[in-house]
Amino acid sequence: EIVMTQSPATLSVSPGERATLSCRASQSISNNLAWYQQKPGQAPRLLIYGASTRATGIPARFSGSGSGTEFTLTISSLQSEDFAVYYCQQYSNWPPMYSFGQGTKLEIK
Amino acid sequence: QVQLQESGPGLVKPSETLSLTCTVYNFSINSGHYWGWIRQPPGEGLEWIGSIYQSGTTYYNPSLKRRVTISVDTSKNQFSLKLSSVTAADTAFYFCARNFMFRGVVSWFDPWGQGTLVTVS
């Protein structure tokens, strides 16, 4: 099983500043990584797939990078609506055995 | 746009079977994508349960495989989840989602249903 580890667990950032979230895989997953945003009481929303491709309708301030085992989600110039929990998910296995990171809570500083 | 909606009982007794259905709107379930179930205990993270293709081919999380059955009804544009022998540990929000097929790879989940809370008690 591929274990996904996100850091930090909680990140406090001021509006307008940049946030950098990390996700590490226990073995190489190439670029088979997605990022999701989840707000309280809502379902997760796809932000990024293929480690760096923004999903439809996702603002350009969201960007993803990395390959292999180390990945980063960067949110430039944080808006109030960006404060939420973020999850990474790998889809490298065949047959499928998807795993998610434990999440990073992005809170207002 | 594509929408998914979970339905089913919100309360299940211990040792019984949890049953949920996901209805897909504005998109055919016979479209070449997989369809998945993911759960989230209150205040915790996400756990993939399993996914199904239009043909009925299924893949399950090994940790739940013994208790899980996912089926598809293409005539109703629905797929369903059954989880047997439930305990309090199965209390969670249950989400259905399109499990996107991209260049032959079954990959991310998008979009998701709003989720439904199932309590085992």
Which among A45, A46, A87 has CB closest to B46?
A87
> How far is A2 from B39, CA to CA, in rounded Å?
18
**What percentage of chain A has pLDDT greater than the value 70?**
100
> How far is B52 from B68, CA to CA, in rounded Å?
12
Indicate the length of chain B as a whole number: 121
> How far is A90 from A29, CA to CA, in rounded Å?
7
Determine the pLDDT at residue A67.
97
Closest CA to B97 of A85, A31, A91: A91
Determine the pLDDT at residue A93.
80
Please judge whether A97 and B51 are an interchain contact, meaning their C-beta atoms are less than 8 angstroms apart. no
Q: Which residues of A touch B (CB under 8 A)?
A: 1, 32, 34, 36, 42-46, 49-50, 55, 87, 89, 91, 95-103
> How far is A5 from A24, CA to CA, in rounded Å?
5
Please judge whether A97 and B62 are an interchain contact, meaning their C-beta atoms are less than 8 angstroms apart. yes
For residue A93, with 0-12 CB atoms within 10 Å meaning exposed, 13-18 middle and 19 or more buried, which class applies?
middle
Please judge whether B48 and A49 are an interchain contact, meaning their C-beta atoms are less than 8 angstroms apart. no
For residue B61, with 0-12 CB atoms within 10 Å meaning exposed, 13-18 middle and 19 or more buried, which class applies?
buried
Mean pLDDT by 10 residues, chain B (121 residues): 97 98 97 96 97 95 97 97 98 97 91 98 97
Determine the pLDDT at residue B110.
97
DSSP designation for A55? P
Determine the pLDDT at residue B7.
98
Chain B: closest CA distance from residue A15 (Å)? 25
Please judge whether B111 and A55 are an interchain contact, meaning their C-beta atoms are less than 8 angstroms apart. no
Please judge whether A91 and B62 are an interchain contact, meaning their C-beta atoms are less than 8 angstroms apart. no
- Residue of B108, B109, B117 to mutate, testing the A interface (most A Cβ within 10 Å of its Cβ): B108
Coil, strand or helix: which one is B88?
helix
Contact B17, B68 (CB under 8 A): no
Query: Is the pLDDT score of A62 beyond 90?
Result: yes
Q: How confident is the model at residue A94 (pLDDT cuts 50, 70, 90)?
A: confident
Q: What mean pLDDT is reported for chain A?
A: 96
Q: Which residue has the tokens 């089926």?
A: B71
Stretch A33-47: mean pLDDT, rounded? 97
Instruction: Tell me whether B45 touches chain A (CB under 8 Å).
Output: yes
Query: Is the pLDDT score of A3 beyond 90?
Result: yes
The β-bridge partners of A37 are: A45, A86
Chain A residue at shortest CA distance from B96: A43
Contacting residues of A for B45, CB less than 8 Å apart: 87, 100-103
Contacting residues of A for B22, CB less than 8 Å apart: none
Q: How confident is the model at residue A42 (pLDDT cuts 50, 70, 90)?
A: very high
Determine the pLDDT at residue B13.
98
Contacting residues of B for A36, CB less than 8 Å apart: 109
Determine the pLDDT at residue B104.
85
Please judge whether B109 and A46 are an interchain contact, meaning their C-beta atoms are less than 8 angstroms apart. yes
Stretch A27-42: mean pLDDT, rounded? 96
Coil, strand or helix: which one is B90?
helix
